[in-house]
Amino acid sequence: MTETLRFILGDQLSRHIAALEGVDRDNDVVLIAEVADETTYVRHHRRKIAFLFSAMRHFARDLETDGYTVRYVRLEDGETSLSDVLQKAVKDLSPKTVVVTEPGEYRVLEMMRDWQETLDCDVEIRSDTRFFASQEFFLDWARKKDGDMPKSLRMEFFYREMRKGTGYLMDGDGPAGGEWNLDKQNRESLPASIEEPERPNFKVDDITQEVLDLVEDRFGEHGGSLENFEYPVSRAQAIHYLKWFVETALPKFGTYQDAMRQGAPLLFHSNLSALINCGLLGPREVCDRAEEAWQNGDVPLNAAEGFIRQIIGWREFIRGIYWLRMPDYGKENFFKANRSLPEFFWTGETDMNCLKQSIDETWENAYAHHIQRLMVIGNFCLLAGLDPKEVQEWYLIVYHDAYEWVEMPNVVGMILFADGGLFASKPYAASGSYINRMSDYCKHCAYSVSLKTGEGACPFNYLYWDFLMRNAEALRDNHRMQLIMKSMDRMDATKKRTMRSDADKFLQSL
């Protein structure tokens, strides 16, 4: 008879996960499962499925090597759902208790609550202690900021609380360097003379090859490429990748984190997010290494601060927003946008070079960095009035670091302003000039970024003004939009009509 059955989900691949606390290797069983439902509730990128299955199998192997008893269910075993897997394991092993860690997605939490009601044993749901801030901490902070039902929250103030609480980059009671946020130092365009660093190449082993063959066979109708699969899939590889990033790419990450270059999808970005989100790396150890590199003088403060802010600030804040607003947050649609995604989101076939580059690289790598996601792809989604539900699903499908807790708030609140400004102070809308300033995409485009209207004009230019005119009533009360709205009001009426006409023709052509 098994004493305790410890169920580990595919994004909980950590020895420090709460469900493994107090494990008895002689009497407990660790359950890990690949199931059909989790691969098909949206048509996940094939590279995302391959990464997670390989990481899960490597994690299970490492546990067994260290003396854990592991019951590993493969996709080939034919189990449909997490609930089916667990019910079968409980029937076979008769544990006194099932221990799980709270999931990252609301739909899975609902499953776990059902398990507490239906299984013939106790089910203990433990808090996910991998995060710096518990859900209770975030809720308390949010209520202090704006009452019992917060209407307006800002990451910057939460981030300062996290800096004080963790002690990262602090000088006594204040921030190292005298400023909390060095984002103004992190917006430089990339000089042609600076080359992208060469990344480690993690060779495909037998476990990963077996997974790649499985995904190729079972998920042929899903999008994405499996070629040149070089991403870390084990704890050892993840640590090696972290070490490489801190030593090689982090020193320039801060200054050029918003830059884009054609044919260089990663530049100085870490590409660690998928490893952190699935558990192979812990956010604390990642921040510890970045801070240590700064303390040793190996990286500048703007690099360490910009990187750590993404983790203890943005990542933690976004998770708090998700659990604060679920289960209805995904239904928000402030601008009443309803246009369907264009076909080129699935094919990359568009003459808009910035979108082509960002979408093609997304389908190739299951990854794009935050400016490609926000200010190229996301900016287009906002300006074109694309349906928030469809945009959410696309982002969840294509990125290997995407889970609903991180994807939904970024799309609803940051990209689309669909929540009306719960945490974004204004819509992240921009014309083609921003993309031209931060990339070399426009030099290779069929459209001219310098033309505002007419044949050959960059669509971002007239779509930007069309978006403002279309949503003028909703935007006028936003204090950060008042200058641009006044500029729009002063615009010649004929020019306005031309902008609207060009936008209408373009959007109809989609």
The backbone torsions φ and ψ at residue 271, rounded to the nearest 5 degrees and listed phi first, read 55, 35
Separation between Cα atoms, residue 264 and residue 196, nearest integer Å: 7
> What burial letters (b/e) apply to 32-60, b meaning 16+ CB within 10 Å?
bbbbeebbeeebbbbbbbbbbbbbbbbbb
pLDDT tens sequence for the chain (510 residues)? 678 999 999 999 999 999 999 999 999 999 999 999 999 999 999 999 999 999 999 999 999 999 999 999 999 999 899 999 999 999 999 999 999 999 999 999 999 999 999 998 999 999 999 999 999 999 999 988 666 666 679 999 999 999 999 999 999 999 999 999 998 888 899 999 999 999 999 999 999 999 999 999 999 899 999 999 999 999 999 999 999 999 999 999 999 999 999 999 999 999 999 999 999 999 999 999 999 999 999 999 999 999 999 999 999 999 999 999 999 999 999 999 999 999 999 999 999 999 999 999 999 999 999 999 999 999 999 999 999 999 999 999 999 999 999 999 999 999 999 999 999 999 999 999 999 999 999 999 999 999 999 999 999 999 999 999 999 999 998 999 999 999 999 999 999 999 999 999 999 998
The backbone torsions φ and ψ at residue 272, rounded to the nearest 5 degrees and listed phi first, read -95, -10
- Indicate the burial class of 139 (C-beta count within 10 angstroms; 0-12, 13-18, 19 or more): middle
Task: Describe the strand order of the beta sheet including 122-126 as a list of residue ranges.
Answer: 70-73, 29-33, 4-8, 97-101, 122-126
Place of tokens 């995407």: 402
CB 53 within 8 A of CB 29: no
The angle subtended at Cα 488 by Cα 483 and Cα 490, nearest 5°, is: 100
In angstroms, the Cα distances linking 371 to 155, 265, 266, 284, 435 are 18, 11, 11, 24, 9
Separation between Cα atoms, residue 80 and residue 102, nearest integer Å: 21
Separation between Cα atoms, residue 359 and residue 376, nearest integer Å: 9
| Domains of the chain with CATH codes | 4-126 (3.40.50.620), 135-203+233-325 (1.25.40.80), 344-509 (1.10.579.10)
Separation between Cα atoms, residue 123 and residue 77, nearest integer Å: 25
Antiparallel, parallel or unpaired: β 29-33 and 4-8: parallel
